[in-house]
Amino acid sequence: MTKDEFYMGKALEEAATAYAVGEIPIGAVIIYEKKAIARAYNLRESLPCATAHAELLAIEKACRALGRWRLTGCTLYVTVEPCPMCAGAIVNSRLDRIVYGCADPKAGAVRSVFQIVDTPALNHCTAVTQGIREKECARLMTDFFRSRRQK
């Protein structure tokens, strides 16, 4: 198992927790110096808050853990490609790298619909690795929405 696959497993654990509490199953983990400094899952329904996406919650926790808003030296692992709001936060927090599982063809803002995190016009570009444990990440989303439709 590669390092990326291992850490994506941690993000999948977060996504499974989201699923269990009725949230869209997206999980995120931020790694700094080989250590998970922040873990989060979607909480939009539970809080309720439109901005309670896994990525934003993990970024907030990582900033508190490091005592700074610049997350240089950090990698974000997230199960689903981030939306435009989260991609903007990734750029603004100066994350070095993002690793995501499955694409979001309707709202993905890293590769699918927009390419926000590596837009040269912005003040920071983030390296991207996509498709890590893609089938597992996609299956969790598919299962969740199938279950919702059946209810």
- Does this model's pTM top 0.85? My answer is yes
Region 106-128: mean pLDDT is 96
Phi-psi region of 105 (alpha: psi -120 to 50; beta: other; left: phi over 0): alpha
Judge whether 20 lies within some domain: yes
Locate 149 and state its tokens.
């439709």
Region 101-123: mean pLDDT is 96
* Catalytic positions, written as ranges: 55
Locate 53 and state its tokens.
């996406």
**Domain limits for position 140:** 3-145
Region 57-66: mean pLDDT is 98
> Annotated binding residues for Zn(2+), as ranges?
53, 83, 86
Judge whether 150 lies within some domain: no
> Please, are residues 140 and 12 in contact by the beta-carbon 8 Å criterion?
yes
Q: For the chain, what is the domain count?
A: 1
CATH code of the domain covering residue 84: 3.40.140.10
